[in-house]
Chain A
């Protein structure tokens, strides 16, 4: 998967590394902005209230 990605990318090695860093940053941004908050909404944090529930 990653070796295929490396082959598809154009340019010399440093340009490919640069593109990969930018891609990784974009993926991280998407995870933090949309995916993680969405996943978090399914996880119950420890209940802090007293009650019968």
Chain B
């Protein structure tokens, strides 16, 4: 009788170990692969639906960036490319930061209280650093000058990485138009991108924040920026 109990306990132990392997490693890879696939599909779809656009002026400038309206919860509206995160890195960006609807599918989630890409202010997104596709796994490896590319149905927005910041989970000031400004309503002149994830890895004790500053914009009809051409073309 005791032998049977022992066998059951060993079996349960093995199943729990299998679960950990599945959660930390296997499911992570599956979700990441699925998420990259979805991003490629969305990117292609955005290009297919893009209207022909005006040509740039003589200096190659497309003027003030066009801004898409905010997306509803869980709806994918764009794709994030970060060459520093991998040669084929692309993840969908969805509306809202709901854990089940957006983040656990491997997407980056847009804080719906913040601005949209290209708008003056702060375009803030959240993503997992471990498990569930871990889109921001390599957030701490960013170096000054690295580029973030955001694709929406309007075009490609290029942001340049500026700095990292480590904060308490309650520090919502990082999402302000002017992050950490003492007055919440401080009006901004800049266009920022803000990435938030957990810190340290596997912990919820702190948050890691990555900021980028807007560099340029081009409509979809102008094609993807040169640094990510190969990723977009691969589809």
Smallest CB gap from B202: residue in A:
A46
Smallest CB gap from A5: residue in B:
B7
The answer to whether the Cβ of A31 comes within 8 Å of any Cβ in the partner chain is yes
Q: List 28 A-B contacts (CB under 8 A).
A: A28-B18, A31-B15, A31-B18, A31-B19, A31-B22, A36-B22, A36-B27, A37-B27, A39-B19, A40-B23, A43-B23, A45-B128, A45-B132, A46-B128, A46-B129, A48-B103, A48-B127, A48-B128, A48-B136, A48-B207, A49-B109, A49-B111, A50-B169, A50-B171, A50-B174, A50-B207, A51-B170, A52-B170
Provided the pairs A2-B7, A39-B19 are in contact, do residues A50 and B196 lie with their beta carbons within 8 angstroms?
yes
Question: In the complex the two chains form, what is the Cα distance from A52 to B207 in whole Å?
Answer: 13
In the assembled complex, the CB of B18 is this many whole angstroms from the nearest CB of chain A, namely 7
Residues of B within 8 A of A28 (CB): 18
Smallest CB gap from B197: residue in A:
A48
The answer to whether the Cβ of A1 comes within 8 Å of any Cβ in the partner chain is yes
**Chain B 163-176 per-residue mask, 1 if CB under 8 angstroms from chain A, else 0:** 00001011110110
Question: In the complex the two chains form, what is the Cα distance from A1 to B132 in whole Å?
Answer: 36
Q: Are A49 and B204 in contact (CB under 8 A)?
A: no
Q: What class of interface size applies to chain A in its complex with B?
A: 10 to 19
Chain A residues proximal to chain B, CB less than 8 Å: 1-2, 28, 31-32, 36-37, 39-41, 43, 45-52
Within 8 A of A (CB), among B170-192: 170-172, 174-175
The answer to whether the Cβ of B8 comes within 8 Å of any Cβ in the partner chain is yes
* Interchain pairs with CB closer than 8 A, number: 72
Smallest CB gap from B18: residue in A:
A31
Output the residue of A45, A48, A49, A51 with the most chain B CB within 10 A.
A48
Residues of B within 8 A of A51 (CB): 169-170, 172
Q: Are A46 and B8 in contact (CB under 8 A)?
A: no
The answer to whether the Cβ of B220 comes within 8 Å of any Cβ in the partner chain is no
Question: In the complex the two chains form, what is the Cα distance from A32 to B7 in whole Å?
Answer: 22
In the assembled complex, the CB of A43 is this many whole angstroms from the nearest CB of chain B, namely 8
**Chain B 189-206 per-residue mask, 1 if CB under 8 angstroms from chain A, else 0:** 000000011100011100
A45-B128, A45-B131, A50-B167 known; 4 new pairs, CB 8 Å cut-off, are A1-B3, A50-B171, A52-B170, A52-B172
Output the residue of A31, A37, A40 with the most chain B CB within 10 A.
A40
Smallest CB gap from B8: residue in A:
A1
Question: In the complex the two chains form, what is the Cα distance from A50 to B170 in whole Å?
Answer: 6
User: Which of these, B4, B18, B97, B175, contacts A1 with CB under 8 Å?
Assistant: B4
Q: Are B104 and A47 in contact (CB under 8 A)?
A: no
Smallest CB gap from A3: residue in B:
B3
Top-6 shortest CB links A-B: A46-B198, A46-B204, A1-B7, A49-B126, A48-B197, A47-B204
